[in-house]
Copies of this chain bind each other. A is one copy, B any other.
Amino acid sequence: MDFMKPETVLDLNNIRQALVRMEDTIVFNLIERSQFYLSPLVYKSNYVRIPDFDGSFLQWTLLQQERIHSQVRRYEAPDEEPFNPTKLLPSLLPPVNYPKILANYSKEVNVNEEIYQFYVENIVPKISCKEGDQLENLGSVAVSDIECLQSISRRIHFGKFVAEAKFQLDKQLYTKLIKEKDIESIEKSITNSAVEQKILERLVDKSRSYGTDPLMRYSQNPQSKVDPEIIVKLYKEFIIPVTKKVEVEYLLRRLEDTQ
């Protein structure tokens, strides 16, 4: 995506291509996380006592990571939302003068809290290789979790580009639906079941290809590092519906932006 060229960013074909590429990153990251134990201590509030901090070890590590990344301008990008939007640092790099692509309030549409909770409660238990903690790996686990969280967050918030592109394609329709607060029709208009079905099929293939040692492919029991069904379920039950939620939330406010 070249955010300096808004006309290419709001082309639905380009958006779809970017979303397909993000699947690879998400699958890679989940495979990496699957090497580690469940590690409940990483998610337990104040298990590690850190001065002036109240929260879990993962939350602390994620905050530190985001503070560094905010200094290198990560969250100025229209496709990146932080998990700690109120605790960031000023950038050390000169600002990028992004052309206007999304509505002004776009950064206020942030579902990371929901992503965090779902990830910890529903994804980690399914992909980790074993119950319990491996005390010497708490740091590695947190670092790996952050990669997963960030790639899932980016994928979900990318819905804003889909929403904006669709709005641009039929301003009249959306203006009407938004004024009527007709959430159901908005949801319908942004849903493409054929595309969704294709995503799920592709994910089975990707989880198998990326998660299986290629030398094992023709063996009798080529076990994938993460069960493809888990990744399909994650998309079906969480990533796709929450992306839609982002799109709807974005669209419902779209008339605030008078440009």
Q: Which of A74-96 contact B (CB under 8 A)?
A: 74, 77, 92-93, 96
Shortest distance from the beta carbon of A65 to any chain B beta carbon, whole Å: 7
Q: Spot the interface stretch: A118-126, A209-217, A232-240, A244-252.
A: A209-217
- The verdict on A140 contacting chain B, using a C-beta distance below 8 Å, is yes
Q: Which of A24, A138, A139, A213 has the most CB of B within 10 A?
A: A139
Q: Quick one: copies of this chain in the complex? A: 2
Residues of B close to A215: CB separation below 8 A: 202, 205
A25-B21 contact in complex given A92-B48, A139-B73, C-beta closer than 8 Å: no
Partner of A134, one of B2, B93, B142, B208: B2
Q: A175: CB under 8 A from chain B?
A: no
Residue of B with least CB distance to A142: B72
Stretch of A27-35, A106-114, A162-170, A185-193 at the chain-chain interface = A27-35
Q: Cα distance A21–B129 when bound, in Å?
A: 14
The one of B68, B72, B98, B202 in contact with A214, judged by C-beta atoms closer than 8 angstroms, is: B202
Q: Which residue of B lies closest to A151 (CB)?
A: B32
Rounded to whole angstroms, the CA-CA distance of A139 and B95 in the bound complex is 12
Residues from chain B with a CB closer than 8 A to the CB of A116 are none
Residue of B nearest to A77 (CB): B136
A93 touches B35 (CB 8 A): no
Q: Which residues does chain B contribute within 8 Å of A68, judged by CB atoms? A: 61, 64-65, 68
Is the pair B72, A139 in contact by a Cβ cutoff of 8 Å? yes
Q: Does A206 contact B (CB under 8 A)?
A: yes
A72 in contact with B77 (CB, 8 Å): no
Interface flag for A183 (CB, 8 Å): no
A210 touches B209 (CB 8 A): yes
Check: A43 CB closer than 8 A to any chain B CB: no
The answer on a CB contact under 8 Å between A96 and B32 is no
Which residues of chain B are near A4, meaning CB under 8 Å?
Answer: 136
Listed A/B pairs (13) with beta-carbon separation below 8 Å: A2-B134, A3-B136, A28-B28, A57-B93, A68-B68, A72-B143, A73-B139, A74-B143, A96-B136, A98-B136, A202-B215, A209-B210, A210-B210
Please name 7 further chain A to chain B contacts, defined as beta carbons within 8 Å, in addition to the given A28-B210, A64-B68, sorted by A numbering.
Answer: A2-B134, A48-B93, A61-B68, A93-B138, A98-B136, A202-B214, A209-B210
